[in-house]
Amino acid sequence: MNILLLGSGGRESAFAWKLSQSPKCEQLFIAPGNAGTGQYGTNVNIRVTDFEGIGQFALNKNIDLVLVGPEEPLVKGIHDFFLNDDQLKNIPVIGPQREGAQLEGSKDFSKQFMVRHNIPAAASKTFTKDTLNDGFEYIATIGLPVVLKADGLAAGKGVLICLSVEEAQRELNEMLTEAKFGDASSSVVVEQFLQGIELSVFVMTDGTHYKILPEAKDYKRIGEGDTGLNTGGMGSISPVPFADAAFMQKVEDRIIIPTVDGLKNENISYKGFIFIGLMNCEGEPWVIEYNCRMGDPETESVMPRIESDLVDLLIGVAEGNLNEKELIISDKIAATVMMVSGGYPGEYLKNKTITGIENVRGSQVFHAGTYLDNETVKTSGGRVLAITSLQDNMFVALQQATADAARIYFDGMYFRKDIGFDLL
């Protein structure tokens, strides 16, 4: 079959790498892709939010399946766009329709969903400009730190963890009355802080059945020892040692089953991935957030551990018979180190020539923010390359990914050398 993958990051490189290994994949197109995705298929210069362009391309190239990488087109309704068009409606789209994508697109929607289905999550209330004073009062009562979340998509920046009541009240005021995060913060969820260690759990669902993909841990801070500014993610590891069978059973019983059943019972058609951001609080799982897509850089650690044919699994999602498909997961450990541009996550350097990729021996290099300038690979994004090593032993995987990252060079490059070592 012919597959169109939407997106241009490390996640999409890992997807493209895995899709292209399937005997069921005839032609693979990636829109818009990057210098790395071009190794596994054909890049197409169409933006992920250009629904008309994507639809036209899908018809022209006889696309049989569309896999959506990032959240933005899902929240904006790309799946609905296909379903509402007579010519496109029979092309399956992997990723929820607009309503289901609200699990990520609206923090208030997702919190209310969790409350309706008794899914463990931090206590919270949602406020708008009109209820600012109630918000101030609530902040004073829920204990410190206080977590503020802009309701809408804010490019990963909409969550603030405030250490004092005054700070939280000032920030709430700025979010609601001064549009600190634009429209995204016209409504703000105020919630209790959960103390624990985070992990990412991924579920693939056809709306009725589900498969639990390998879990992963993401390292969000720019600095070693988890210090400094938040980033999109500086590395990941899968599996996560503290997510043992007993913990994962709790996750399945208390979170995954109520989530999939809840969507179905509310008639929210959902075919795609559910990314559950969890806090492990003394062995008990609590939901921090849902995303309606796979994680980045988690996908770069998750895909190498999936031994089954991803295309076959996606067909199961599309056709509603995921229960008949097999998901085999490798026991090996995947470690991913993200190489980023100088200055990231602030203003960062661009258009730097990347050298040394050919010297990498024990890892897979997934491109994220790269492009081809004639024959030369150059940097275009903050997160540039994800270096993943799959090994029998966790220490070896971590050491190999880190050593391979050091074999690559671009001006101003940076990567954390401590990814995963805290878990040994």
Which positions lie near ligand AMP, rule CB under 6 A? Answer: 122, 147, 159, 191, 193-194, 198, 277, 288-289
Which of 291, 341, 389, 402 contacts ligand GLY by CB under 6 A?
A: 291
| Rounded (10°) angle between helices 165-177 and 132-141 | 160
Nearest to 317 by CA among 5, 65, 14, 70: 65
Q: What does 296 bind: ligand GLY, ligand AMP, none (CB cut-off 5 to 8 Å by kind)?
A: ligand GLY
Nearest residue by C-beta to ligand GLY? 295
CB distance 123 to 191 below 8 Å = yes
CB closer to ligand GLY out of 392 and 422: 422
Which of 12, 191, 296, 309 contacts ligand GLY by CB under 6 A?
A: 296
- Partners of 217 in the β-ladder: 237
Dihedral of CA 26/27/31/34: which sign?
positive
User: Is residue 212 classed exposed, middle or buried when 0-12, 13-18 and 19+ CB atoms within 10 A define those classes?
Assistant: middle
CB closer to ligand AMP out of 336 and 391: 336
Nearest to 416 by CA among 402, 398, 395: 402
Query: How far is residue 313's CA from residue 319's CA, in Å, rounded to a whole number?
Result: 10
CB closer to ligand AMP out of 156 and 320: 156
CB closer to ligand GLY out of 99 and 298: 298
Q: What does 198 bind: ligand AMP, ligand GLY, none (CB cut-off 5 to 8 Å by kind)?
A: ligand AMP
With binding defined as CB under 6 A, does residue 104 bind ligand GLY? Answer: no
Q: What does 412 bind: ligand GLY, ligand AMP, none (CB cut-off 5 to 8 Å by kind)?
A: none
Place of tokens 């490059």: 413
Query: How far is residue 202's CA from residue 259's CA, in Å, rounded to a whole number?
Result: 12
Instruction: Report the C-alpha dihedral over residues 98, 285, 330, 404, rounded to 10 degrees.
Output: 90
Residues from 297 through 316 that contact ligand GLY (CB under 6 A): 298
Query: How far is residue 385's CA from residue 405's CA, in Å, rounded to a whole number?
Result: 9
The distance of closest approach from Cβ of residue 289 to ligand GLY in the complex, given in angstroms and rounded to an integer, is 8
# binding residues, ligand GLY (CB under 6 A): 6
Q: What does 233 bind: ligand GLY, ligand AMP, none (CB cut-off 5 to 8 Å by kind)?
A: ligand GLY
Residue 394, CA distances (Å) to 186, 197, 335, 363, 391 in order: 44, 19, 8, 14, 7
Q: What does 409 bind: ligand GLY, ligand AMP, none (CB cut-off 5 to 8 Å by kind)?
A: none
Site string for ligand GLY, 226-255 (x = CB under 6 A): -------x----------------------
Q: Applying CB under 6 A, which residues contact ligand GLY?
A: 218, 233, 291, 295-296, 298
